[in-house]
């Protein structure tokens, strides 16, 4: 279920919030605000954990954009993309 649409999976609130953060950073990076981070801190994430998560999210987005921009043909296991509704519907 998580692979298809994590929002329909039975996840703890803390993990779901981090997944929401990753989705927002991936789809609408310009919409990120200090509140995006503060909400995660309130759920118990440390600054170090948030920095690590943001590095990982940013790295994967960067690598995917490089591959897309250069027309790199990725393997079939990497081509499976979940069909999520637009972020604005959250």
Q: Quote the pTM value.
A: 0.77
Burial 69-82 (b: 16+ CB within 10 A, else e): eeeeeeeeeeeeee
Ranges of residues in the chain with a pLDDT under 50 are 90
In a domain, 41, yes or no: yes
Please say whether the beta carbons of 81 and 18 come within 8 A. no
Q: Is residue 3 part of a domain?
A: no
Does residue 4 belong to any structural domain of this protein?
no
- Using a 10 angstrom Cβ sphere, with 0-12 exposed, 13-18 middle and 19 or more buried, the burial of residue 63 is exposed
- The DSSP letter of residue 8 is G
Q: What percent of the chain has pLDDT over 70?
A: 82
Containing domain of residue 57, as a range? 12-71
Q: What are 51's two structure tokens?
A: 């920095």
Structurally, how many domains does the chain consist of?
1
- Is 34 contained in some domain? yes
User: What is the pLDDT at residue 79?
Assistant: 60
């Amino acid at each position: 279920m998580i692979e298809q649409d994590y929002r329909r999976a039975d996840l703890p609130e803390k993990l779901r919030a981090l997944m929401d953060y990753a989705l927002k950073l991936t789809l609408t990076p310009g919409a990120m605000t200090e509140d995006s981070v503060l909400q995660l801190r309130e759920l118990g994430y440390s600054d170090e954990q948030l920095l690590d998560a943001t590095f990982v999210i940013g790295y994967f987005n960067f690598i995917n954009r490089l591959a897309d921009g250069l027309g790199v043909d990725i393997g079939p296991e990497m081509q499976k993309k979940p069909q999520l509704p637009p972020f604005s519907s959250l």
